[in-house]
Structures are given as C-alpha cells and as structure tokens.
Amino acid sequence: MTAHADPQRFQTLLRAHERIVFKVAALYAAHAEDRRDLAQEIGLQAWRSFARYDERRAKFSTWLYRVALNVAISQLRKSDGAQGGRLEPLEQHHLDGIGGEPVPEPDERLAALYAFIGRLDALNRALILLYLEDKSHAEIAEILGISTTNVATKIGRIKQTLRGQMAGAAATGD
C-alpha cells in the first residue's frame, strides 16, 4: 500500500527512525551546524517523498536510509564542487552532540576507523555505515541500488584496505 501524505503517520515513523537521519548526517557533515542543516533537509525530502513510499516494497527504515543517503550524497557533491572536491576526513569530534547526547571518547583504533571512513567516497561511506549497522548484504543492496555481489565485493575491498592502513599505522606508531 502506498503511503498517503499523512503528517501524523509520517512524524511517528520519522521519530521512531530518527537515528538513521542523525547517523547519515553525522557521516556526511563535519560540523554541528551542517549536521543540523543536513538532518533538516533529509526530513524535508523524506516528507516530500512520503506520498510515494510503498510499504509493500520496502520497510520504512530501508526507504528512509535511501532518502537520507541520496540527500547526503547530493549535498556532498554540491559542497565538493564549491570546495574543489576536497573532503574533510570524519573525526570523532564531528560526531559530538548528535541527538543532544555526547559521544564517548574513542580509543585510538576507533578514531583511526572514523578517519578512514571519512576518507571513503560517498558510496563506500554509505555502504560501510550500513554494514556497521548490521544490515545484511541484501538490505544494503536494496538501499543503495546495487547488486548483493557488488556489496560483498566492496565490503571485502574496504576491509582489506582498512586492515592495511591499520597495520601500517601500527608499524609506524601512529
């Protein structure tokens, strides 16, 4: 059944899944103000698209991830064009204050993981976010619109690269 533009139903669903919006905003926007702006834009675009949401085709969380990632990637591309394509690596301090709750201090390995994720391109960043959320390869494929085989291949490559970077950092003492 296709969703009707029912504001109360939309707000209930969005509130129940707001962590998705905050996580995507945190992963694609480095500064608190940019995260708030991105979260608002995601909410706005989700509302505009809600009338086309079909609960027979996808769970709300899957649909919301797709909307949120599309908005975030579009915003990232716009800002990259304005900044000459420069991406700022995601650091732990970028995640502070999401949802009003402080994020605990990470250990060095977690900080290195955040930095690594921040250097990934937009698609791989989305992919690893979903992977770290314990989404299945099939769910990730559905959200990102790529094949399950492609998901498995990309995750394998990301893990291999990460292992290499972590081993290199350990060897140099970084």
What pLDDT sits at residue 113? 77
Statement: the pTM of the whole predicted model exceeds 0.75: no
Task: State the pLDDT confidence band at 173, using cuts at 50, 70 and 90.
Answer: low
Q: Which of 132, 116, 126, 127 is nearest to 153 (CA)?
A: 127
Helices (H), 5-59: 7-16, 18-28, 32-50
Of residues 37 and 91, the one with the higher pLDDT is: 37
Q: Do the beta carbons of residue 38 and residue 75 sit within 8 Å?
A: yes
pLDDT over 70, % of the chain: 75
d(CA 6, CA 21): 20
Residue 123: closest CA among 160, 87, 95, 166: 87
Could you tell me the two tokens for 143? 């959200």
d(CA 91, CA 43): 24
pLDDT of residue 50: 93
pLDDT digits (tens, 9 = 90+) for 106-146: 467 677 777 788 888 888 989 998 998 889 999 999 999 99
3-state secondary structure (DSSP) of residue 9: helix
From the list 40, 43, 56, the residue with the least C-alpha distance to 3 is 56
Q: What 3-state DSSP class applies to 154? A: helix
Is the model more confident about 136 or about 104? 136
- pLDDT of 46-71, one tens digit each? 999 999 898 888 899 999 999 999 99
* Domain boundaries, given as residue ranges, for the chain: 7-172
pLDDT of residue 81: 55
Query: Considering only CA atoms, which of 18, 138, 118 is closest in space to residue 129?
Result: 118
pLDDT attached to residue 92: 42
Q: pLDDT digits over 67-103, tens only?
A: 999 999 888 777 765 544 433 444 444 444 334 443 4
